[in-house]
Structure 1
Amino acid sequence: MSTVDPATSTDRGPVVTTTRPARRTGPLRRTWALARAEVLLLRRNRTLLFNAVLTPVGVVALLALVGDGRAMTGEVAARSVGLMIAMLLLFVVYYNVLSTAVARREAGVLQRLRTGELADAEVLAAVCAPAVALTLAQTLLLVAVGGPVLDLPLPANPLVVVLGVLLGCAVLALLALATATWSKNLESVQVTSLPVIALCVLGAGVAVPLDLLPEPVQRVAEFLPLTPVVELVQDGWVGEPDLAGVAVPAAIALGWVVAGALVVRGAFRWSPRA
């Protein structure tokens, strides 16, 4: 847009100045910028960084100690992979996203971000991005060290494993945001997250194999948030899943994604709780 400023006119005529409208950044660029800030804050929070990095490493070390150098095959390998992926999703994605969302809300950060150019989905995606990226990186590390350290076989169907991990990140991140709605402050996160973590661990067969549970309990456990994710990862790593074996747990996980998105959209609290 051009404007004429009479006060700056010369003998050759008025001076024409051109003003350019402010350049608007795209949603990906805005989300990326905010996610980078979240990564820096995560690096400074030693407690969350400990949970995100050392807890999964401790699980791998424990499995290496228990395995005593023996090759893991069949059911033992499946249970070990399920345990490690479950710990990653629960302690890296779920707990970190929950703690971060509550901390940013109580500090008034989320409320201030909504007044700017960022959309609600962009703000929440940036909050979840560091934990999801860390989980994917540790999953790749698990594939790299699983053979030399734990004598785990390489994933038989990597695409199914990737599908399971991505769905797990989406399910647990949305579950964390939903849990944040009834978490009053950062101290209460340890209480509000405990039932969810316990239900996921027991229902996914990580602590106790599902075969040892009564049949009605097994049927219910199949529809819990973490169970289809662990099933996909186990089948993709050490099994030979068919189309039905992939479609059914993937559909259950997608159902949790849709349900979680609806709950977060309608009930998520952006302002600090009194």
Structure 2
Amino acid sequence: MTTALAGTGPAQKVTALAGTELTLVVRNRTLAVSSVLLPIALGVFWAFSLGHGPEVWPMVVALQVAVTLGMGLYVTGTQTLVARRHARVLQRLRTSGISDGGLLLATLTPALAIALAQLVIFAVIDVVIGDQVPSNWPALVALVLGGIALMVGAALATSVVTPTPERAQITTLPMVFLMLGAAIAMVLIPATGWLQALLLVPGAGVGMLVRLMFGGEVGLGPTLGTIAATASLLVWAAVFIRLAAHRFRWDPRNG
């Protein structure tokens, strides 16, 4: 892989590496099933099984977004980082002329592409079967950008404590369950002071932004609610990135 990147500029190297990473992820059958097909299957199941109506759709969308970010992006990103480190690919590529940031970006590009594709698939399916169109578009944009930032930061941080690719199936479980639980709680709990307190939990901002997307009440109003939920996602993303920056390993871990 390092030889193939020789003789090109930094941007071209990052693009070429990202393309190679995407090919490797797609060819990994286990990863393709667990991080690509399973989230889509769950999202479609929820869309058709949980019912219809304005009181149900926010819950369905919150579940779809949480499973996409949690499995399509977070789990895939963590496993890819750990696998490349375990195979000493990250270590070798640091001599290829790509910056550390560019190397991490290229490695995480497949996970980003998978998550965005899943979100588009769910959007099309939900509209076709009669989902309510979001009324708060700033909340939708904040949901996508803030959610991606949170999961990228979480993937970097989790890779620090994950010694092998196989162990990633275990180390990522708490965050995935937390994402699903917090997102659903923010959609279902009545608009009280407890709703804002839940923003202290990673991923709760996802549920609040979904709630705001469909005109739900959060006690702060649509504008302040969007700002608070987005800030929650970005603050947690910064915390995870900070942790990863201090302890990230480029060479394989022994345990």
TM-score, scaled to structure 1: 0.81
Match of 2:106 among 123, 126, 133: 126
Q: Distance in 1 between matches of 2:141 and 2:79?
A: 26
CA contact (8 A) 2:58 2:187 kept: no
Q: Alignment partner of 1:204: what SS?
A: helix
Structure 2 counterpart of 1:14: none
> 1:44: which partner in 2?
27
Report the Cα distance in structure 2 between the residues aligned to 1:197 and 1:248, rounded to whole angstroms: 22
Q: Deviations over 1:152-182 (max 9, x none)?
A: 1122233421221121111112101111111
Percent of residue pairs bearing the same amino acid type: 32
Partners of 2:202 and 2:92 in 1: CA distance? 32
Matched, 1:185 2:168: no
Q: 1:136 aligns to what SS in structure 2?
A: helix
Note the alpha carbon deviations across 1:221-271, whole angstroms, 9 max, x for none: 322221112321331245486220111111111112222222221111110
* Matches for 1:131-170 after TM superposition, within 5 Å: 131-149=111-129, 151-170=130-149
Aligned residues: 246
Q: Which residue of 1 aligns with 2:202?
A: 225
Measure the CA separation in 2 of the matches of 1:104 and 1:206: 35
- Asked which structure has the greater CA Rg, the reply is 1
Match of 2:200, SS? coil
Q: 2:23 corresponds to which letter in structure 1? A: L
Q: Which has the higher strand share?
A: 1
Higher helix share: 2
- Shift of the alpha carbon at 1:193? 1.4
Look up the match of 2:72: 92
1:234 pairs with one of 188, 211, 228: 211
Change (3 A) 1:208 1:253: closer
In structure 1, the partner of 2:9 is: 25
Q: Which runs of 5+ in 1 are unaligned?
A: 1-21
Q: Contact conserved, 1:202 with 1:208, CA < 8 A, in 2?
A: no
Partner of 2:154: 175
**Residues 155 and 237 of structure 1 are in contact (CA less than 8 Å); yes or no, is this contact kept in structure 2?**
yes
Q: Give the direction of change, closer, same or farther, for the CA distance of 1:166–1:219 in structure 2 (3 Å limit).
A: closer
Return the letter of the residue paired with 1:127.
T
Structure 2 equivalent of residue 58 of structure 1: 41
| Counterpart residue identity of residue 9, structure 2 | T
Q: 1:49 to 1:206 in 2, by over 3 A?
A: farther
The one-letter code of the counterpart of 1:233 is V
Deviation at 1:195, TM superposition (A): 2.0
Equivalent residue letter for 1:196? M
Please, which moves more after superposition, 154-163 or 118-127?
154-163
Q: Aligned match of 2:232 in 252, 266, 271?
A: 252
Pairwise CA RMSD: 2.6
Letter of the 1:154 counterpart = V
- What is the identity, as a one-letter code, of the residue corresponding to 2:173? L
Change (3 A) 1:44 1:233: same
Deviation at 1:203, TM superposition (A): 2.7
Per the alignment, residue 52 of structure 2 pairs with 71
Q: Distance in 1 between matches of 2:188 and 2:36?
A: 26
Secondary structure at 2:56 match in 1? helix
Tell me by how many angstroms 1:56 deviates: 2.5
Corresponding residue for 2:82? 102
